[in-house]
């Protein structure tokens, strides 16, 4: 599976840990939207789209099963995010 497109949309929300939203396209055939670039205690990371369950917990709607794919997605999105920040 290849990532064929990455789009990152920086946001500025006062006090929010969300720094950007991302859309990733795989093999020019499958798109995952609403991923979030989050600034956490241990640095920036990519969060998968999630929905709130009745008990208030969140559950990812979709997610990579392998660590290799998760790392690839995170690296691609964060690289694009860094490029956008550098050019601003």
Q: Within 13 A of 81's CA, how many CA atoms are on the CB side?
A: 24
Q: Where are the domains of the chain?
A: 3-87
pLDDT in tens, the chain (88 residues): 899 999 999 998 888 899 999 999 999 999 999 999 999 999 999 999 999 999 999 999 999 999 999 999 999 999 999 999 898 7
Instruction: Determine phi and psi for 47, rounding to 5 degrees.
Output: -110, 135
pTM for the model stands at: 0.89
Q: Tokens 């050019």 belong to which residue?
A: 87
CA separation for the pair 54, 63 (Å, rounded): 20
**Fold exhibited by the domain 3-87:** Arylsulfatase, C-terminal domain (3.30.1120)
Residue 3 and residue 73 in contact, taking contact as beta carbons nearer than 8 Å: yes
């Amino acid at each position: 599976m290849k990532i064929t497109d990455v789009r990152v949309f920086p946001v500025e929300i006062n006090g929010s840990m969300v720094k950007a939203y991302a859309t990733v396209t795989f093999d020019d055939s499958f798109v995952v939207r609403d991923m979030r670039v989050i600034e956490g205690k241990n640095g920036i990371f990519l969060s998968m789209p999630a929905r709130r369950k009745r008990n208030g917990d969140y559950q990812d709607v979709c997610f990579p099963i392998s660590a290799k794919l998760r790392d690839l997605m995170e690296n691609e999105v964060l690289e694009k995010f860094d490029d956008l920040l550098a050019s601003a």
